Structure 1
Amino acid sequence: MNVKPLLGQHHVSAITANAKENYRFYTKVLGLRLVKKSINQDDTSVYHLFYADERGNPGTDLTFFEIPHAGTTYYGNNSISLTSLRVASDEAIHYWKKRLEEFEVKHDDIITRYGRKVLSFQDFEGQRLELVSDETNQGVAGGKPWDQSPVPVEYGIIGLGPVQLTVPKSDITAKILTEVLGYREKDSYPSLIEGQPNVRVFETGEGGTGAEVYLEERSDLSRERPGRGSVHHVAFRVETEEELKKWVDYLKQLRLPNSGFVERYYFRSLYFREPNGILFELATDGPGFEGDESFENLGENLSLPPYFENQRTEIEAKLKPLNTKE
Structure 2
Amino acid sequence: MEVKAIKGHHHVSAITANARKNLDFYTKALGMRLVKKTVNQDDPSVYHLFYADEMGNPGTDFTFFEIPPAARTHFGTNSISLTSLRVKNDKALAYWEDRFTQLGVEHEGISVRTGRSTISFRDPEGQRLMLVSDEDNAGVPGGIPWRKGPVPADFGIMGLGPVQLTVSRGERTARVLTDILGYKETRAFPSPVDGQNDIRVFETGEGGTGSEIFLEERKDIPGERPGRGSVHHIALRVEDESDLRRWIDRINESGYVNSGFVDRYYFRSLYFRDPNGILFELATEGPGFALDEGLDSLGESLALPPHLESRRVEIEKSLKPLT
TM-score bucket (shorter structure): over 0.9
**What corresponds to 2:53 in structure 1?**
53
Which string of whole-angstrom CA distances, capped at 9 and with x for unpartnered residues, describes residues 209-250 of structure 1?
000000001111100000000000000000111100111111
**What corresponds to 1:294 in structure 2?**
294
SS of residue paired to 1:290: helix
Provide TM-score, normalisation by structure 1.
Answer: 0.98
Q: How does 1:123-202 map to 2 (within 5 A)?
A: 123-202=123-202
How far did residue 55 of structure 1 move? 1.5
Query: Aligned pair 1:70/2:60, yes or no?
Result: no
Which string of whole-angstrom CA distances, capped at 9 and with x for unpartnered residues, describes residues 97-118 of structure 1?
0001111000011101111000
How far did residue 147 of structure 1 move? 1.0
**What corresponds to 2:89 in structure 1?**
89
Provide TM-score, normalisation by structure 2.
Answer: 0.99
**What corresponds to 1:42 in structure 2?**
42
Which string of whole-angstrom CA distances, capped at 9 and with x for unpartnered residues, describes residues 254-286 of structure 1?
121100000000000000000000100000000
**What corresponds to 1:22 in structure 2?**
22
- Unaligned runs of 5+ residues in structure 1 are none
Return the letter of the residue paired with 1:272: F
Q: How does 1:151-300 map to 2 (within 5 A)?
A: 151-300=151-300
Separation in structure 1 between the aligned mates of residue 322 and residue 87 of structure 2, nearest angstrom: 29
Separation in structure 2 between the aligned mates of residue 262 and residue 105 of structure 1, nearest angstrom: 37
Q: What's the % identity of the aligned pairs?
A: 63
SS of residue paired to 1:26: helix
How far did residue 83 of structure 1 move? 0.0
SS of residue paired to 2:290: coil
Give the ranges of 4+ consecutive aligned residues of structure 1 lying more than 4 Å apart after TM superposition: none
SS of residue paired to 2:109: strand
Separation in structure 2 between the aligned mates of residue 101 and residue 198 of structure 1, nearest angstrom: 31
Separation in structure 2 between the aligned mates of residue 288 and residue 158 of structure 1, nearest angstrom: 17
SS of residue paired to 1:109: coil
Which string of whole-angstrom CA distances, capped at 9 and with x for unpartnered residues, describes residues 107-130 of structure 1?
011101111000000000000000
Separation in structure 2 between the aligned mates of residue 26 and residue 311 of structure 1, nearest angstrom: 28
**What corresponds to 1:118 in structure 2?**
118
**What corresponds to 2:308 in structure 1?**
308
Separation in structure 1 between the aligned mates of residue 102 and residue 285 of structure 2, nearest angstrom: 36
Separation in structure 1 between the aligned mates of residue 255 and residue 215 of structure 2, nearest angstrom: 24
Return the letter of the residue paired with 2:224: E
Separation in structure 1 between the aligned mates of residue 196 and residue 253 of structure 2, nearest angstrom: 36
How far did residue 146 of structure 1 move? 1.4
Separation in structure 1 between the aligned mates of residue 255 and residue 16 of structure 2, nearest angstrom: 34
**What corresponds to 2:105 in structure 1?**
105
How far did residue 151 of structure 1 move? 0.2
How far did residue 313 of structure 1 move? 0.8
Return the letter of the residue paired with 1:308: L
Separation in structure 2 between the aligned mates of residue 205 and residue 8 of structure 1, nearest angstrom: 6
Return the letter of the residue paired with 1:277: G
SS of residue paired to 2:110: strand
Separation in structure 2 between the aligned mates of residue 105 and residue 309 of structure 1, nearest angstrom: 38
Separation in structure 1 between the aligned mates of residue 147 and residue 98 of structure 2, nearest angstrom: 21
Return the letter of the residue paired with 1:185: E
Separation in structure 1 between the aligned mates of residue 146 and residue 87 of structure 2, nearest angstrom: 13
Cα-Cα RMSD: 0.6
Q: Which moved more, 1:286-295 or 1:174-183?
A: 286-295
- Unaligned runs of 5+ residues in structure 2 are none
Query: What is the total number of aligned residue pairs between the two structures?
Result: 323
Separation in structure 2 between the aligned mates of residue 57 and residue 162 of structure 1, nearest angstrom: 17
Q: Which moved more, 1:246-255 or 1:52-61?
A: 246-255
